[in-house]
Amino acid sequence: MSEKLIQNGKISRRSFLNKTTLAGAAITVPTIIPREVLAAPGRPGANDRIITGHIGVGGMGRSHIRNHSVAICEVDTNHMKEACDLVVERGGRYPDQYTDYRRLLERKDIDAMVIATPDHWHGLQCVHACQAGFDVYVQKPACNTIEEGKAMVDAAKRYGRIVQVGSQGRSTPAAHAAATYVQNGEIGDVKEVICWHSVNRESDWVKDEPIPPELDWEMWLGPTRWVPYNPMRSHFFFRWFMDYGGGNIRDRGAHVFSVILWVLNRRDAAPVTVEATGTPPKKGIFDCPIDMEVTYEFKDPDLKVVWAQPGVPQSGREFGATYYGTKGQLLVNGGDGGCDTEDKAMRYSPPPGGVQVFRSPGHEENFYNCMKTREQPIMPIEDGVAVADMCVIGNISYLVGRKLHWDPVKREFKNDPEANRYLARPGRGSYHL
C-alpha cells in the first residue's frame, strides 16, 4: 500500500476509497484508540461515548441503533427513515444519511462501524471498514465464501482492528452455564452433538417486478451477479437463496455452531469431513434445499456434529442442539439471543479449582469494552469465520452431492477441484476483494 494512504498514523479514508483491495505487501498500522473511548474523571464510561456508524438498518440492523448513531447507510429509504427516527427517539440527533457505504467510510468522527446488511455484503464491507481504520461489529454469518473469511481475518490482523461477529448466543447466561457445565466434565467427554431446525422455506413462483422507487437495487445486489428485482429476493426473503443467505444452516446454523464451539471450548476448530444431503425445492424461486442433513467429523479429539432439518426436536423450540457425553447429555435450545439450557446447568457452580468460563456482559457491551482494552471479544472474527466455514462447506457438500474431505490448514477440499470452485465467487464490477 502506498505511504500516501497513511496520514498522521491513520489511514486516509479518502485515499482508501481508491485502494480497496487486499493486494500488496502487508503493513503495520498503529493502534489508535479514539479519545472518546477512554474513561476519565467527570466523563461517561466508554460504552456511552463510542460514536457509531451503521451500514444496513433493516431487520437486525435496527436493533443496534443507539443515541450515538451519527450516520447511517441504507439502500431502502423507508428503512432509512425508520432508523433515523429511532435515533431521535433515543435522544440522538438526526443522523447523516448515505446509500453508498464507501462514502460513510470517509468519516473521521466515528469510532466503530456496525454492519447488518444481507449476508452477501458482510465480507466486503468488513474488510473495507478495517482498511479504513474502524473497529467493526458485523452480523452473522461472518461471510458467504471461504475466500471472504480469509480476507476478513487478514484485514482485522493487518490493520489492528477489533471485530465482533454478531452471534450473540455466546453472550447469553445459558451459553455461559452450558459451557461451564460441560467444560467441568459434568457429562464426560462429548462425542456427538445433534442439532435440529425447521425446514427451509419454499416459495410460490413470483414474477419479477419494476424496482420500487425507495430501493437502490444495484447497491443491494452489490458483489453478487445481476438479476432483475423480485420482491422475494430482497430484504427478509434473501435468506433462502444460495447467492445471498444460504438457507437456515447459514442463518440459525451460525448461531447454533457458534454455541457448540464455545461450549466445547473448541472455538476455532474445523471439521475434517463434511457430508450433506437434501431435497431441492420443486417450485418457486428459492434454491436452498427444503430438508437437509449435514454430518461433520472432527479429530483430536473425535467429535461428530449433525445438522438436521427438520431432525427430531428435543423441546418445544424451533431449533437447538443436544450434547451427548460419556457420562450424560445436555440440551441447549436456540443459540441466538433466546438461548436457554437445562436447570441442572443453570444452577451449577464449578468446584474449587474448576474451569471458570468467561462471562460476557452482553454481546455489544463486550465489543465496546474490547474497543477500549484492545482485548479480543467473545466472538472475534477468527471464531466467526470458523463457524461460517462450517455453514459454507455444508452447502457445498449438498451442491456437489457427496462427502468431502476438508483441509483445515489450507482451508480447501482435498483432491476435489470441482468442490474447490465453490470456495470463492467472482465479484461484480467494482465490488470485489
Tens digit of each residue's pLDDT (9 = 90 or more) over 344-389:
999 999 999 999 999 999 999 999 999 999 999 999 999 999 999 9
* Number of independent structural domains in the chain: 2
Interval 321-347: pLDDT, tens: 999 999 999 999 999 999 999 999 999
Which three cell numbers mark 43? Answer: 466523563
Q: How far is CA 183 from the centre of its chain?
A: 25
Report the distance separating Cα 65 and Cα 57, nearest Å.
8
**Domain stop point among 133, 151, 169:** 169
Report the distance separating Cα 146 and Cα 126, nearest Å.
14
Structural domain contains residue 365: no
The CA-CA-CA angle for residues 364, 370, 375, to 5°, reads 140
User: What per-residue confidence (pLDDT) applies to 48?
Assistant: 57
Range of the domain at 224: 173-352+381-420
Report the distance separating Cα 107 and Cα 326, nearest Å.
54
What residues have CB less than 8 Å from 144, skipping those under 6 apart?
A: 119, 120, 122, 123, 244, 246, 250, 388, 392, 425
Which three cell numbers mark 212? Answer: 420500487
Regarding whether 147 and 73 lie in a shared domain, the answer is yes
Structural domain contains residue 24: yes
Structural domain contains residue 429: no
User: What per-residue confidence (pLDDT) applies to 410?
Assistant: 96
Please give the helix or strand (H or E) that residue 136 lies within, else none.
Answer: strand 135-138
Report the distance separating Cα 433 and Cα 121, nearest Å.
11
Please give the helix or strand (H or E) that residue 399 lies within, else none.
Answer: helix 381-400
**Domain stop point among 147, 169, 191:** 169
| Nearest CA-CA partner of 234 in 427, 79, 102, 391 | 79
Regarding whether 236 and 128 lie in a shared domain, the answer is no
Q: What letter would DSSP give residue 47?
A: H
Regarding whether 331 and 252 lie in a shared domain, the answer is yes
Structural domain contains residue 368: no
**Domain stop point among 169, 203, 232:** 169
Report the distance separating Cα 376 and Cα 370, nearest Å.
6
Regarding whether 193 and 156 lie in a shared domain, the answer is no
What residues have CB less than 8 Å from 17, skipping those under 6 apart?
A: 102, 105, 106
Four-residue CA torsion sign, 364, 194, 199, 320:
negative
CATH assignment at residue 399: 3.30.360.10
Which stretches of the chain score pLDDT less than 70? 1-48
